[in-house]
Structure 1
Amino acid sequence: MRLRYIIGLMLFSLMVIASCTKVDEEVYDKYPADDFYGSPEGADVALAGVYAKIAGNWGGVGYAGADNGWYDLNVMSTDEQVIPHRNTGDWQLDFARLFLHEWLPTDLIINNTWNWLYSSIFSANLAVEQLESSDANIEKIAEAKVLRAFFYYLLMDDFGNVPFYTENNVTVDQLPQISREQLYDFVVEELKKNIPHLPTTKGGAFYGRFNRWAGYALLAKVYLNSEVYIGVPQYEQTIATIEKLEEGGFSLHPGGASDTNPLGFSYYELFGDVLPEDETILAMYATANIVSRNILTVRSLSGPHAQALFGYSGWNGTIVPSAFYAMYQDQDVRKAQFKLGPQPGGVEYTLEVNNLDNPGADPFAGVRNMKFYPVDPMDGGGASNDFPIFRYADFILMKAESLVRLGREGEAKSLVDAIRQRAGLQPLTTNPTLEDVYKERGLELNWEGHRRQDMIRFGTFLDSNKFRGASQEFRKLYPIPTSALDANPNLVQNPGY
């Protein structure tokens, strides 16, 4: 039995134990709760309930497991992907509305993301309480607190001023709303206090868990975006934190030609089964129909194309806008992920999509993406590719960006060149500009959940495109859902909504 199945069955078992009330009552009759959560096994049960929130599944639950949730909110509002409504009547309008920057506080995907994040914070608060009250190992308590900071970071990034609580003894209508600046301070301090207590173990039991290196990765992300969050740049701190991360011994995974990878390059091993430890810092674990799933390829390919390749029908959904596709040079190994023109199954994808919502796109219009080439077990509901939340290439480019912003372009060149050369491109002929770094981030990290944040930081998120004019400033934040405002009179809506 392969490692991923062992991990999956262990996580699934822990989730069942953590969520089954009858089991809890029967165990605690003989084994007091404090003693249980103070044991290594009990501490892992408490944490498994929180990690299950990252994996998620249907109904907009999870980081990148299925559709209508956080992942879609943060990629389909950008220039890298969208699901158009089809002129055959297929697909809801929510995805096109995200791309057109026409979302509303009542929209499903916004509501799902909000509910998932606050459900996750509730679970993290519960884990912290269980572990602290049982005098659990400080590493386990620190892990729970870093997980909570991760969810608050995602809330801060998407919504700005949000409800805040660290104990589950407050009703929804009493939760106080704090400013983005206050939440930024909490997240930074929580990470700085707890990261040193996290273990340095890589892989094994810590595949897909916050170890010290994943903690530093999260803190570096917060620092990189601090000018957006609080109006104060923290690029020196970003570099210093990434240099602590580098002590974990990460490196770029080989990217050259491969006879065994279905897309032809070992680069795509970064998006397959168990993700390679040389570059992966934090992964979201997935085994379809057991723990989460990865729908990204099956959602993109048309029915007959996927049927010809995998034996099940694709959803004919997500496309790559032509302007984004045009950024890739032919010799770039990262261009192999895209499918355009005639395909198996008698399908031919055309480059241009001329309408997103009314009447919508032609059935086979738009470039398709197979970056996450499906791995077993897989079916028409998704595949078992793990998802890279943090990988080292991202942080190489973050360091390069910070250096350029500090006027140290010469130090950034070798970093950008390393990413380019892994992709089969020539080094830059001059020191990198911010535009060079921005472009390389788009080429390297597409479909991995970072594009909205990057576009806001580089000042391109509001720019006009083929389908809409320039957006207003308030679109840099999502609205607090109407349902949350109805439930809590303390909340004030974000400006513009």
Structure 2
Amino acid sequence: MKIFRYIIIASVLCSGLLVSCINDLDQYPHIEETNKSVYTSVENYKMVLAKLYASFIICGQEKGGGNKDFATNKGYDYMRSYINLQELTTDEVAYTWSGNIFDLCKHQWTISDIFVSDMYYQIYFTISICNEFLRNSTEEAIDGFSDTDKEELRTFRSEARFLRALAYFHALDLFGNVPYVTENNPVGGFLPPQYNQQQIFEFLESELVALEKELPAASQTEYGRTSKAATDALLARLYLNAEVYAGKGYYTECIAACNRVIQAGFQLENDYRSLFNADNHLRKNEIIFSFAVDATHTMSWGATTYLICGSVSSSNGKQIPADYGVQSGWTSFRAKGALTSKFESKDKRALFFTEDQSQYVTDLKDEFTGYLFEKWSNLKDDGSIASNSAADGVSTDFPVFRLADVYLMYAEAALRGGTDTQGDARSMALEYVNKIRERAYGDPSGNITAAQLTLDFILDERARELYMECVRRTDLIRFNKFISADYLWEYKGGEARGKGLDKKYNLFPIPETEISANSNIKQNDGY
């Protein structure tokens, strides 16, 4: 049973929210009585906190995102938008459906791209409701509560700061120089300043270092809520990419953050596939933090419903939807050959449906080119279907951070020159990578030597271990492979065989609507 449910109650949080955030990044309840009636009990605070968590996977107050929080172009939820930008633009995923979304696959997006715009405003909606929660959870605001309740509310406040930091990390990674607004800014009529990447990096580092001390240990945290370990995992990811964001390497700091996660007691799950099924909420040994998704409380047409239904073909004729716990497939995703060619035959992570499918994508609209994904499912451990996915979406959680990723971050940081005060970093890096490989192969036959442990190997191993988990675009940029002509994949740059890209594509453009609304904001270079 999933413990922390994302209960969404319209009357509690969203009464009076703006219907669009295009002209006001700092959204807030406009009915003065809302705050007075909502922030009156610990339970009410917890329900509002649940909405902050839920904002990453559902975009409204009703089933499937009905009664929307605000208007966007396509109306997709946060995670569906994030999947599109992090996966379709890379060597992992080709998209089948026609339309503007092909611009992502071909790296032909513009300042008016509707999928880019949706992501931008989903991020800032989450930031805005986190800010509103923080305004109402100051020491002054909770002064009338008991000492015991105050302690709990302070933890809620720290959780809200973490969720805001996660959204800001996505803003930094995707858009670079972005608006900066906190709970300390005035409400209404305020045009946020634009912070550069280094300023956002410094803000996030400061927040996460502080939160690591404030949040409870993972062992003392309800499932679905953040912890010290989740904070350190995000901090490690920030440090690993610091050279991109701030022009300076923080690899020793990355190793230290990874060590704190590892020493929190996490262990690799024996069965890789079980990390991505409908019982994956039971994998607390490896999954550090996840977005809880279930058909009863947080039914979404995005998040893992998108990953699972989108991975199943409705026209292949050989792939059976019930084998993945769904009633029908959406025929959205296919694996590019650039990804599937990285796997050896014994690697159990190669979860692809190959029958009647060519390995390489030769036509984005042809559903029979490119293997189909089998990594995600809506099946429980006993093989039963978790929910009626045709009507109610799926019940598989999305792991945001897990131990295998932390092992690989440690290894990469060590290869990039990071040191470990607790021992030889390169020796530990090899040990961690081989632990992952041993699970993948079922025995030591896939283990590598110290000479084989190179940065190029790490990039490929991250693809094998973490594909379809929304890290690939970030990884390719960090390795200078995203725009480079030295590494190509199908339809990179719009050509079937791929081509190099203009450097502007390392970032997405700030939506033109935002540029028009806020005179403080300048467009990213090249757009």
Which TM-score band (shorter chain)? 0.7 to 0.9
SS, match of residue 523 in structure 2: coil
**What does the per-residue CA deviation read over 1:465-494, in whole Å, with 9 as the maximum and x for residues that have no partner?**
342310011111100011111211221000
Paired residues, number: 456
**Aligned equivalent of 1:417:** 434
Question: Cα–Cα, structure 1 residues 461 and 206, in superposed 2: closer, same or farther, change >3 Å?
Answer: same
Distance in 2 separating the partners of 1:34 and 1:106: 38
d(CA) in 2 for partners of 1:377, 1:206: 23
Higher helix share: 1
- For residues 220 and 307 of structure 1, the distance between their equivalents in structure 2, rounded to whole angstroms, comes to 37
**Rounded Cα–Cα distance in structure 2 between residues aligned with 1:214 and 1:186:** 18
User: Do the aligned partners of residues 422 and 110 (structure 1) sit closer, same or farther apart at CA in structure 2, a change above 3 Å counting?
Assistant: same
Q: Distance in 1 between matches of 2:275 and 2:198?
A: 35
Match of 1:379 in 2: 389
Equivalent residue runs for 1:90-101 within 5 Å:
91-101=97-107
* 1:462 shift after superposition: 1.0
Q: Tell me if the contact between 1:34 and 1:130 (Cα under 8 Å) persists in the aligned partners.
A: no
Q: Partner of 2:360 in structure 1?
A: 352
Superposed, which structure 2 residues align to 1:226-265 within 5 Å? 226-254=242-270
| Percent identity over paired residues | 30
- Pairing partner for 2:198 from 181, 186, 194: 181
Q: Does 1:426 align with 2:421?
A: no
1: CA distance, partners of 2:107 / 2:171: 19
Retained in 2: the 8 A contact 1:15–1:49? no
Give the deviation of 1:115 after TM superposition: 0.6
Instruction: Determine whether 1:221 maps to 2:221.
Output: no
Structure 2: distance between partners of 1:270 and 1:312: 21
1:350 positional shift: 2.6
* Alignment-mate amino acid for residue 102 of structure 2: A
C-alpha distance in 1, partners of 2:349/2:39? 51
The runs of 5 or more residues in structure 1 that have no matched partner are 85-90, 255-265, 342-347
Alignment of 1:310-349 (within 5 A): 312-335=327-350, 337-341=351-355, 348-349=356-357
Contact 1:338 1:368 in 2 (8 A): yes
1:110–1:481 Cα contact (<8 Å) kept: yes
Contact 1:322 1:366 survives alignment (8 Å): yes
2:90 alignment partner AA: T
RMSD: 2.7
- Following superposition, the deviation at residue 33 of structure 1 comes to 5.2
Paired residue type of 2:110: L
What's the TM-score, normalizing by structure 2? Answer: 0.81
| CA deviation map 1:34-78 (0-9, x unaligned) | 972xx43233123112112122255555443xx4x1221111111
TM-score scaled to structure 1, two decimals? 0.85
- Could you say which residue in structure 2 is the equivalent of 1:344? none
Distance change >3 Å, CA 268–CA 307, structure 1 → 2: closer
- Given candidates 198, 202, 207, the residue that maps to 2:219 is 202
DSSP-derived class of the 2:446 partner: coil
2:111 maps to a residue whose letter is P
**Other-structure match for 2:142:** 134
Bigger drift between 127-136 and 321-330 goes to 127-136
Taking structure 1 as reference, are residues 366 and 142 closer, same or farther at Cα in structure 2, changes over 3 Å only? same
For structure 2, the 5+ residue unaligned runs are 18-28, 60-64, 66-73, 144-149, 380-385, 419-424, 492-497
Give distance in 1, aligned partners of 2:38 and 2:237.
35
Q: Work out the CA distance in 2 between the residues paired with 1:56 and 1:428.
A: 42
Cα contact 1:46–1:130 (8 A) shared by 2: no
Q: Cα–Cα, structure 1 residues 72 and 60, in superposed 2: closer, same or farther, change >3 Å?
A: farther
Cα distance in 2 between the residues matched to 1:470 and 1:378: 43
Runs ≥4 residues deviating over 6 A: none
Give the structure 2 partner of residue 191 of structure 1: 208
Give the stretch that moved more between structures: 287-296 or 318-327: 287-296
The equivalent residue for 1:103 is 109
Q: Are the aligned partners of 2:473 and 2:482 in contact in 1 as well (CA < 8 Å)?
A: yes
